[in-house]
């Protein structure tokens, strides 16, 4: 193989690795969509604790009152747990606060349907309605208490997160054309000509970037033959699509979603130092190497590497 081809291949593999895991996304506003919002949980949001995502005490987990329960249409059978949304009151000047301020919330619970009530009068979370049942303090930031329910606009921000897929092109393909694509999509490509003879295919995802202080938190529960890991405080996309665990004497093992953001492994992990690899719905991956020491105990929480936003 020619030296130039080897360099090109290595460069592409390196760029692939960086794009998937290390490059922070470039965020901009996604399209606004319509829904409705109500509130629950009381003035201190104490009634929002627990919930269908498994986060437990939302105060101690760092979510506070910036939370919402999602209707069936938005909850996606728990896959949306941890997702972040921007919401503002819309088209209701009697009840919306002046200037239509935005709030930013994390999905932490499920708003169940009430088929005994019509969808436009009590059955607010009935499918196929998109609906947010906000923690009361968040509802009061966008609308008057007496409104009870208001129309809202919501969105998840766009993240131009560069993912690279390699495929061959003709040798006559101009490297300047490739450079033009790269320079538009990634700051890594700016600079002098690059001798690549591959075309880069880029995928785009739509998300509001969750901004979370500190690292991803991993709480390990269960017993010797059943490990249940609750994953919280996830930045970036917020919602998770894949988790893998690696023991000090094992390879990477894919975990399965048990419920909410609880992920399980039936492997014997006791007595091993553990590494975790978490993939968000924007397909970026964060790997926390040896974040759990070999003397860990069930019930403990460990802090890993978070996504950059």
pLDDT by residue (tens digit) across 120-157?
A: 999 999 999 999 999 999 999 999 999 999 999 999 86
Element (H, E) at 119: none
Q: Of 155, 170, 197, which residue sits at a domain end?
A: 155
Assigned domain for 42 exists? yes
Q: What is the pLDDT of residues 65-83, one digit of tens each?
A: 999 999 999 999 999 999 9
**Residues 149 and 71 grouped into a single domain:** yes
- Whole-prediction pTM value? 0.77
Q: Are residues 55 and 38 part of one domain?
A: yes
Whether residues 163 and 146 share a domain: the answer is no
**229 lies in which domain range?**
217-303
User: pLDDT band at residue 294, thresholds of 50, 70 and 90?
Assistant: very high
Residue 12 falls inside a structural domain: yes
Together in a domain, 151 and 36: yes
Return the closest-CA partner of residue 153 out of 39, 66, 73, 33.
33
Digit-coded pLDDT (tens) for 99-128: 999 999 999 999 999 999 999 999 999 999
Count the domains in the chain.
3
Number of helices (H), then strands (E), in the chain: 4, 20
Is residue 309 domain-resident? no
In the beta sheet, which residues pair with residue 198? 168
Asked if residue 82 and residue 8 are part of one domain, the reply reads: no
Under a CB-based contact definition with an 8 Å cutoff, are residues 250 and 203 in contact? Answer: no
């Amino acid at each position: 193989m020619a030296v130039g081809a080897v360099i090109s291949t290595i460069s592409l593999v390196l760029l692939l690795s960086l794009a998937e895991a290390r490059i922070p996304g470039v965020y901009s506003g996604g399209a606004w969509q319509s829904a409705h919002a109500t509130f629950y949980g009381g003035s201190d949001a104490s009634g929002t604790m627990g919930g269908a995502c498994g986060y437990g005490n939302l105060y101690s987990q760092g979510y506070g009152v910036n939370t919402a329960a999602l209707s069936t249409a938005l909850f996606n059978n728990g896959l949306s747990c941890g997702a972040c949304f921007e919401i503002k009151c819309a088209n209701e000047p009697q009840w919306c606060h002046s200037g239509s301020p935005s709030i930013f919330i994390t999905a932490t619970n499920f708003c169940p349907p009430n088929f005994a009530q019509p969808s436009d009068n009590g059955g607010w979370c009935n499918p196929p309605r998109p609906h947010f049942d906000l923690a009361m303090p968040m509802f009061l930031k966008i609308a008057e208490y007496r409104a009870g329910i208001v129309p809202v606009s919501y969105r998840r921000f766009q993240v131009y997160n560069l993912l690279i897929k390699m495929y061959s092109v003709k040798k006559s393909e101009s490297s300047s054309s490739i450079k033009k694509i790269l320079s538009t999509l990634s700051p890594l490509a700016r600079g002098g000509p690059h001798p690549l003879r591959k075309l880069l295919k880029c995928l785009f995802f739509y998300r509001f970037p969750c901004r979370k202080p500190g690292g991803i938190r991993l709480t390990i529960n269960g017993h010797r033959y059943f490990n249940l890991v609750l994953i919280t405080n996830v930045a970036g996309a917020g919602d998770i699509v894949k988790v893998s665990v690696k023991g000090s004497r094992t390879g990477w093992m894919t975990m399965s979603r048990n419920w909410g953001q609880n992920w399980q492994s039936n492997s014997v992990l006791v007595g091993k130092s553990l590494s975790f690899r978490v993939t968000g719905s924007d397909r970026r991956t964060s790997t926390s190497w040896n974040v759990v020491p070999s003397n860990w105990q069930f019930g403990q929480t460990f802090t890993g590497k978070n996504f950059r936003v």
